[in-house]
């Protein structure tokens, strides 16, 4: 018999019986649903607190850098890296620390800090920027082969010209002048015509001279064929 053919009393009895038989499952389902909602909001709150803490640590780091307090800056950087390694603040702090290390001519510290930033960046744009700076430091430390290997794995993300220029610098450091010239040309080709960087790139390319061409065959002296016969 269909449910809608029963009178109101019979229908209510069926509903009450179903409720009695399934009350445990209903409460379990409600409880699980509430736990999921509670857990989600707890996680959101934890994430917000972590971001706020990371931002505060970053402000402390920036203040120490501004005051030229290297000890305090390094301590703040280490706290951010340890406690908030997945935060953008930690990556940016590591890149900023590298800038100071370069100014102090401490390329080893700069390379270490930029490598950390490159490894922990979760944005392709930031990862590419950290990687480009790391390439520059490697070139400054006469590590052209390592720089080229890193360039092969960099996300382009709108930096095609900058990456091609760095490739040219690395190839030139290895003495590969023709390959370097081609890389500089690729960098120029990726630039807008009105880019302010275009002229310096053209100078880099032109300083390497024209691309190597196959040397023409030496002319045969007049009468040489007759002499050899």
Tens of pLDDT along 65-123? 888 899 999 999 999 999 888 789 999 999 999 999 999 999 999 999 999 999 999 89
CB neighbour burial string for 88-104, b if at least 16 within 10 angstroms, e if fewer: bbbbbbbbbbbebbbee
pLDDT (0 to 100) of residue 52: 73
Cα end-to-end distance, the chain, whole Å: 120
* Domains identified in the chain, total number: 2
CATH number at residue 77: 1.25.40
> Do 162 and 117 belong together in one domain?
no
Q: Are residues 129 and 175 in the same domain?
A: no
Higher pLDDT, 28 or 229: 28
In a domain, 150, yes or no: no
Q: Are residue 114 and residue 166 in the same domain, yes or no?
A: no
The one-character DSSP state at 156 is -
Same domain, 126 and 184: no
The answer to whether 89 and 58 have CB atoms below 8 angstroms apart is yes
Query: Which of these, 38, 61, 60, 41, lies nearest to 49 by C-alpha position?
Result: 41
Specify whether 116 is located in the same domain as 180.
no
15 in any annotated domain: no
Average model confidence (pLDDT) for the chain? 80
Specify the pTM.
0.70
| Domain span holding position 186 | 158-208
């Amino acid at each position: 018999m269909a449910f809608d053919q029963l009178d109101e009393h019979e229908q209510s009895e069926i509903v009450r019986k179903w409720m009695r038989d399934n009350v445990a499952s209903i409460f379990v389902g409600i409880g699980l649903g509430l736990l999921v909602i509670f857990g989600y909001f707890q996680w959101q709150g934890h994430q917000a607190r972590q971001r706020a803490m990371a931002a505060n640590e970053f402000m402390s780091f920036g203040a120490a850098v501004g005051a030229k307090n290297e000890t305090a800056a390094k301590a703040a950087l280490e706290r951010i890296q340890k406690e908030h390694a997945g935060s953008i603040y930690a990556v940016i702090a590591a890149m900023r620390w590298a800038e100071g290390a370069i100014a102090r001519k401490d390329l080893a510290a700069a390379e270490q800090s930029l490598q950390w930033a490159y490894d922990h960046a979760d944005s392709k744009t930031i990862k590419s920027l950290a990687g480009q700076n790391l390439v520059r430091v490697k070139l400054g430390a006469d590590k052209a082969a390592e720089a080229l290997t890193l360039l092969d794995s960099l996300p382009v993300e709108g930096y095609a010209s900058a990456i091609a220029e760095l490739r040219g610098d690395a190839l030139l450091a290895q003495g590969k002048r023709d390959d370097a010239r081609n890389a500089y040309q690729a960098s120029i080709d990726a630039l807008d015509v009105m880019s302010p960087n275009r002229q310096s790139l053209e100078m880099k390319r032109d300083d390497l001279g024209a691309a190597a061409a196959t040397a023409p065959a030496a002319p045969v002296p007049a009468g040489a064929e007759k002499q050899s016969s």
